[in-house]
């Protein structure tokens, strides 16, 4: 990888990755719909709207690998999700094909499978169970990545990110937390592993309470350096201050599951 692009570089995850990936690749391009804050003199930024195909095609000219973080990162009305995460995601993959880009690392989400109960341990082969419109868009992105890998030979890694932060902030995050440096390790696997065609992995650190079997990531060489349990006391103290919610506390997707929820009582869900 000589030239790597980060979309969504002005967002929370993108801002973290900017510093952690600086100097790893000869050229690191940052992009977002709005200018990123606190750009350094040595940082290259190109403003682009992912919903505009012409802008995205020009953005990927000469790019070897993409870290695709761009799009709406929370639940929203369908029109917003559709433009940012459906149209924008398609434009990104199609522009990668047109430009001969070698790799795309797609930032998927745990919300693509959020309606699994917390007592059930799952693998990447279990069917998607999105917990929100946002989760639906991430399941779409995973399917799109598989299509472009199988049809056109693009190397794609979809990372179902749990929660990236300096430490897990409540009990749920003890199961799904990923440290910034562990996420960077997964991203580099997606960009650099010689045998990658298409794979889904979980974006999670070494979490003793994990709900997910991350064997595919380990098979690709992932060796997380951080452990959620090292922050257990802080997380459980914060959990004690939360207001309980029967739906959010039953499903892996947490609060996203409770938004607009009008389904069966959690006790009736397998």
Tell me how crowded residue 79 is: count the other CB atoms within 10 A of its CB: 9
Report the pLDDT value the prediction gives residue 118, as an integer from 0 to 100. Answer: 96
How would DSSP label each residue in 22-50?
TTTSSEEEEEESSPPTT--TT-EEEE--T
Relative orientation angle of helices 180-192 and 12-20, to the nearest 10 degrees: 70
CA 157, CA 214: separation in Å to the nearest integer?
13
Backbone phi and psi for residue 60, each to the nearest 5 degrees, phi listed first:
-90, 5
Q: List the one residue out of 51, 71, 69, 59 whose CA is nearest residue 3.
A: 59
> Which member of 116, 134, 148, 222 is catalytic?
134
Report the pLDDT value the prediction gives residue 9, as an integer from 0 to 100. Answer: 96
The domain that contains 83 carries what CATH number? 3.40.50.720
CA 112, CA 218: separation in Å to the nearest integer?
21
Report the pLDDT value the prediction gives residue 81, as an integer from 0 to 100. Answer: 97
Where does residue 5 rank: exposed (0-12), middle (13-18), buried (19+ CB within 10 A)? buried
- The pLDDT profile of the chain, 270 residues, written as one tens digit per residue, is 999 999 999 999 999 999 999 999 999 999 999 988 889 889 999 999 999 999 999 999 999 999 999 999 999 999 999 999 999 999 999 999 999 999 999 999 999 999 999 999 999 999 999 999 999 999 999 999 999 999 999 999 999 999 999 999 999 999 999 999 999 999 999 999 999 999 999 999 999 999 999 999 999 999 999 999 999 999 999 999 999 999 999 999 999 999 999 987 776 655
CA 132, CA 72: separation in Å to the nearest integer?
12
Report the pLDDT value the prediction gives residue 37, as an integer from 0 to 100. Answer: 84
Where does residue 259 rank: exposed (0-12), middle (13-18), buried (19+ CB within 10 A)? middle
Domain encompassing residue 49: 3-268
Report the pLDDT value the prediction gives residue 36, as an integer from 0 to 100. Answer: 85
Query: ∠ at Cα 107 (4, 220), nearest 5°?
Result: 80
CA 156, CA 138: separation in Å to the nearest integer?
14
**Pairing state of beta strands 163-164 and 103-109?**
unpaired
- For 71: left if phi > 0, alpha if psi spans -120 to 50, otherwise beta; the answer is left
Q: What's the domain count of the chain?
A: 1
204: Cβ contacts below 8 Å, ≥ 6 apart: 162, 176, 177, 178, 182, 210, 212, 214, 224
Report the pLDDT value the prediction gives residue 269, as an integer from 0 to 100. Answer: 59
Question: Could you confirm whether 134 is annotated as catalytic?
Answer: yes
**Which 3 state secondary structure label does DSSP give 52?**
coil
């Amino acid at each position: 990888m000589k030239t790597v692009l980060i979309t969504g570089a002005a967002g929370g995850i993108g801002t973290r990755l900017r510093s952690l990936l600086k100097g790893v690749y000869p050229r690191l391009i940052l992009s977002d719909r709005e200018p990123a804050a606190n750009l350094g003199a040595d940082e290259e930024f190109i403003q682009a709207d992912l919903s505009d195909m012409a802008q995205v095609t020009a953005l990927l000219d000469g790019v070897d690998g993409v870290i695709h973080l761009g799009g709406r990162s929370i639940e929203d009305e369908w029109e917003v999700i559709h433009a940012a995460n459906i149209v924008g995601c398609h434009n990104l993959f199609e522009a990668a094909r047109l430009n001969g880009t070698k790799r795309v690392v797609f930032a998927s989400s745990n919300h693509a499978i959020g309606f699994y109960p917390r007592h059930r341990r799952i693998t990447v082969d279990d069917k998607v169970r999105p917990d929100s419109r946002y989760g639906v868009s991430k399941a779409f992105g995973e399917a799109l990545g598989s299509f472009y890998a199988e049809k056109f030979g693009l190397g794609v890694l979809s990372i179902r990110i749990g929660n990236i932060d300096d430490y897990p902030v409540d009990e749920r995050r003890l199961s799904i937390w990923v440290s910034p440096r562990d996420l960077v390790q997964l991203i580099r696997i997606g960009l650099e592993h010689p045998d990658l065609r298409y794979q889904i992995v979980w974006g999670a650190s070494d979490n003793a309470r994990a709900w997910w079997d991350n064997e595919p990531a380990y098979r690709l060489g992932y060796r997380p350096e951080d452990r959620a349990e090292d922050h257990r006391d802080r997380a459980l103290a914060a959990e004690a201050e939360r207001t309980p919610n029967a739906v959010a506390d039953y499903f892996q997707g947490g609060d996203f599951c409770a938004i607009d929820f009008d389904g069966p009582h959690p006790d009736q869900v397998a």
